[in-house]
Chain A
Amino acid sequence: MGKITDRLKEGKILVSDGAWGTFLHAKGLKPGQCPELWNIEHAEEVYDIAKSYIEAGADMVETNSFGGSSFKLVHYGLAQRASELNEAAAVISRKAAGDKFVLGSVGPTGKILMMGEVTPEEIYESFKEQVIALEKGGVDAIIIETMTDLDEARLAVRAAKENTTREVICTMTFEKTVDGEFRSMMGVSPTEMMTELLPEGVDIIGANCGNGIEGMIQIVKEIRSCNSVIPVLVHANAGMPVYNDGATLFPETPEQTAGFVQAIIDAGVNIIGGCCGTTPDHIRQIGRVVREL
C-alpha cells in the first residue's frame, strides 16, 4: 500500500475521515462509558463507523483509540487492557479500510506535565504501549491529535517514532484569541508547534477540532509560512455546537464545509477530514470538491 507521504508526493489531495466520538454517541454510547471498550463489546458498530467513512470516499480512516492511553483508560478501570483495546481498534479499522490507509488515533492523557502530577517517563511509557498495540493491529500511521501542550506532544511523537516503523502525524488544537491569533489552550501557536515538533521527525503535521473549517484556513497559512514542504492535515469540527431540545448539534452542514475546501487547499493543506460533528456526508462532500479539482 505504500506510504501516505508517497501518495501526497504525486500531488494528490487526500480525504480523511470524520467524527468518531459524536458518531459513537449517535450509535448509543452513553456518557461515562468507555468508547474504547466498544472495540471488544460492540465491534460491529465500530466497524460500521469505519466502513461508512470508507464508503463515503475517505482515503484513510482512524481507529477508535483516541482515549486509549492507560492514563485515560484508568478512569474506567481498564488501564490493564490498554494493549488489547488499542490492538482491537486497529484490527477493526484495518478490516474496514481495505486498501485505504488506517491512522491509529492517540489523544492526550489529560495530565498536565508542568504540574508534576506525572513524570515525562510515565507519559512516554503510556504512549509507547498504545502505539505498539496500534501497529500490531495493522495501522499504517500513528495520528497524535488534539494536543495542546508541546511537551506531551513531543513525548507522543517520540514514543511513536522510537517504537514503531509507521509514519507519524501530529495535530494540535488551536483556538482564536481576542487578538485574532491562534493558540492552543496551553498557549502554543502554530508557529511554535512547527519549530518544536518538526525536529522530532513528524511526517505530517496539522490541526484538528476547533470551531469549524473556516478558522483552519488561517492556521494552515501560518503553518505554511513556516514550512512549504511538510504535508499538512486538517480535521475540523462541524462548527461550534448548539443546543436544541435536549441535544447538542453541530451546525455546519456538509455543503457549508465543502464550501471552504477550495480555500483551505489554496492555503496549502494536503489532507482534509473532519472532527467532532462531521459525518460521512461531510466526507462525501469534501471528496466531491477534491475530485473536481
Chain B
Amino acid sequence: MEEILEKLAYCVEFGKINLASPYPPDMRGQDGADELTKKALEMGVPPTEVLNKGLVIGMGKVGVKFRENKVFVPQVLMSAKAMSFGMAHLKPFFNDGSVVRKGKIIIGTVEGDLHDIGKNLVAMMVEGSGWEVIDLGTDVNAGKFVAAVQANPGAVVCLSALLTTTMVNMEKIGKAVKEAVPGTIVAIGGAPVNQDFSNKIGMDVYAPDPQGLIDYLGNLN
C-alpha cells in the first residue's frame, strides 16, 4: 500500500499523467497517476489516503521546487494535469462525503483583468494540496466574489491580478467581501503585488508563489 502511494506521488511530482503519456521520457511505458489512483482504490486503499498520502504529497514537492525555481510553469502544468487525472477517480468520494477536504477557497482574477495563467496555477496547486477550489474565472467583480462567499461560508477568498492598473481593484473587492461577510480571509497574489501593497489595502495574506498560499492555508487548520 505504501509503495503504490509513493509511486503515485512520484507520478504527480514528475507529471506522469497516464500509461499513454510520453512525458517524462524516462517513465515511458509505465503507469501514470491515472492508472495508479484507480489501482490503489481497487486494492482497498482508503480514498482519503490516496489523496493525502499520494496525490497531495507529489503536488507539495512540485510547489516547493517551483518556489525554489527548480521547475517552471510547464512542469507544474504537467504535474497538475497528472493530479487532475487522479482526482477524477476520487470525485465520487468527494461527492458522497467520504473524503473530506481541508477547506474551500474561492479564487478569481479581479475586475478589468483578463489574465488567467497565474490564477490557474494557484488554483491547481491549492486543489492539489487537498483543498476544494471554486474558480470564478477572470474579470470578476466584487458582487460575484461576495455572492460566492455568501454561498460558501468560511471559504478563503483569493484575488489575482497581473496588471498594475487592475491590482488597485483588489482593495475594492477585498473590502466589499469583508464588509458583506465579516471575518472572511482574503489573500492576494500576482506579479505586480507585494507584501507592502497587501498591508496598505488591509488584506490578510500576500503570497509570492502558490506554495506560500498553501503554507498559509495549512496553518489555518
B165 touches A185 (CB 8 A): no
B117 touches A178 (CB 8 A): no
From B114, B164, B166, B197, contact of A22 by CB (8 A): B164
With A110-B115, A112-B117, A187-B72: A31-B166 Cβ-Cβ less than 8 Å? yes
Question: How close is B34's CB to chain A, nearest CB, in angstroms?
Answer: 16
Of residues B116, B164, B194, B197, which shows the largest number of chain A Cβ atoms within 10 Å of its Cβ? B164
> Which B161-189 residues have C-beta < 8 A from chain A?
163-169, 171
* Binary contact readout B109-151 vs A (1 if CB under 8 angstroms, 0 otherwise): 0011111110000000000000000000001000000000000
From A30, A31, A185, contact of B73 by CB (8 A): A185
> Which B57-97 residues have C-beta < 8 A from chain A?
68-69, 71-75, 77-78, 81
With A22-B164, A25-B165, A31-B169: A187-B77 Cβ-Cβ less than 8 Å? no
A22 touches B165 (CB 8 A): yes
Interface status of B192 (Cβ within 8 A of chain A): yes
Interface status of A42 (Cβ within 8 A of chain B): no
Chain A interface, DSSP helix/strand/loop, else mixed: loop
A114 touches B114 (CB 8 A): no
From A21, A30, A177, contact of B112 by CB (8 A): A30
Q: Please count the residue pairs between chain A and chain B whose beta carbons lie under 8 angstroms apart in the complex.
A: 75
A187 touches B74 (CB 8 A): yes
> Which A91-125 residues have C-beta < 8 A from chain B?
110, 112, 114-115
A-chain residues with CB within 8 Å of residue B111 when the two chains form the complex: 31-32
* Binary contact readout A247-276 vs B (1 if CB under 8 angstroms, 0 otherwise): 110100000000000000000000000001
| A30 to B74 CA separation, bound complex (whole angstroms) | 32
| A241 to B191 CA separation, bound complex (whole angstroms) | 10
Closest to A26 in B: B165
Q: Bin the interface of chain B by size.
A: 20 to 34
Q: Bin the interface of chain A by size.
A: 20 to 34
Closest to A108 in B: B117
B192 touches A114 (CB 8 A): no
Interface status of A246 (Cβ within 8 A of chain B): yes
A-chain residues with CB within 8 Å of residue B78 when the two chains form the complex: 114
Q: List 18 A-B contacts (CB under 8 A).
A: A22-B165, A30-B112, A31-B163, A31-B169, A32-B166, A115-B77, A148-B73, A179-B69, A186-B73, A240-B192, A242-B196, A243-B168, A243-B200, A247-B168, A248-B165, A248-B167, A248-B168, A248-B192
Binding site for B on A (CB under 8 A): 21-22, 25, 30-32, 75, 110, 112, 114-115, 148, 177-179, 183-187, 240-243, 246-248, 250, 276-277
Known: A31-B163, A241-B167, A248-B167. 16 other contacts (CB 8 A): A31-B166, A75-B114, A110-B114, A110-B115, A112-B77, A115-B77, A185-B117, A187-B71, A187-B74, A242-B196, A243-B168, A243-B196, A243-B201, A246-B168, A248-B165, A277-B164
